[in-house]
Copies of this chain bind each other. A is one copy, B any other.
Amino acid sequence: MSRWGAGRGASAPEGSDASVLAVVVADGEPASEDAGVARRADLLVAADGGARWLAAQGLRPNLVVGDLDSLDRREIERLQESGARVVPQPAEKDASDTELAVEAAITAGADRIVLVGAFGGSRVDHELANLMLLVEPGFSQVDLRLQRSSTLVRGISGNRSLVIEAEVGETVTLLPLGSDAIGVSTRGLRYALDQETLLMGRSRGLSNVVIGQPASVSIRAGSLLVIEIGKSMEGES
C-alpha cells in the first residue's frame, strides 16, 4: 500500500511546491511505524501528551497544543527549551486537544495533515471523536487523514471523489458517517457501486477489495469514511 506522505503524493497539486505536510500526534497509542511519517513532516504538532511519544522517537514538535494535563512542568520546560512553541488551552473547553491541534496546523498553513495516535488506543470515545473530525465541514479545505500502521482513514462529503491508495488485493471499507451516503460510485473495487445509497448504521460497505488501479470512490451527497487496510493487517478480519 503506497502511503501518502512518503513524498509528494497524488494529492498534491501538479507542479505545486507550496504543499505543507503537518503531522499531528494525538495522545492515543500511535504504532511505532507511524514515526516514519512524523519524520517527514514540514510541521510537527503534538496534542498534549502526544509530545511524549514524539520524544520517545527522538523527535521534537514545532508546536504543542492542549490543556497540558498530560504533561508535567519539567516536560513542558524541556519542550520549550528545545524550541517548541507551547500553546496552552483552558481545561474546560468545548473542543478536544486533538481538534485544537488540527486547527492550529491549518492556521499555520498546512494543507495536508496526517493525524497519528488517533485510533487504536483504549479510549473508544476519543477514537470516535477523532474519526468524526474527518467529516467535520470546518476541516474540508485540507486533506486530512488518520493513520495507524498500515490502516488509513479519510472522509469525503458532498460532491467529491477520492483516489484509493490501497494496492490490488487490499481491503477498503466504505462507511457512511453523519448521514446516509448518497450517489456512491466506485472504480476498481470488487463489489462495485454505481450511484447507490449506503445507509448509515448498515455495514454493506464493509471489507470491499481493490481489484484494479486506479481505484476510486465518489459521492454525490452525505458523508462517507473511506478506510483502507494494508496487507500487514490481513488475516485479522
Which positions in A face B, CB cutoff 8 Å? 27, 69-70, 92, 94-96, 98-99, 119-129, 131-133, 135-137, 148, 151, 153, 171, 173, 175, 177-179, 191, 200-204, 206-207, 225, 227, 229, 233, 236-237
Contact = CB atoms under 8 A, between A and B. Distances in A.
A29 to B, nearest CB: 9
Given A178-B179, A178-B201, A237-B70, A225 B132 contact: no
Most chain B beta-carbon neighbours within 10 Å: one of A128, A148, A236: A128
A106 to B, nearest CB: 15
A155 to B, nearest CB: 9
A126 B237 contact: yes
- Total identical chains: 2
A201 B126 contact: no
Contacts of A123: 229, 233, 236-237
A56 B123 CA distance: 26
Nearest to A93: B204
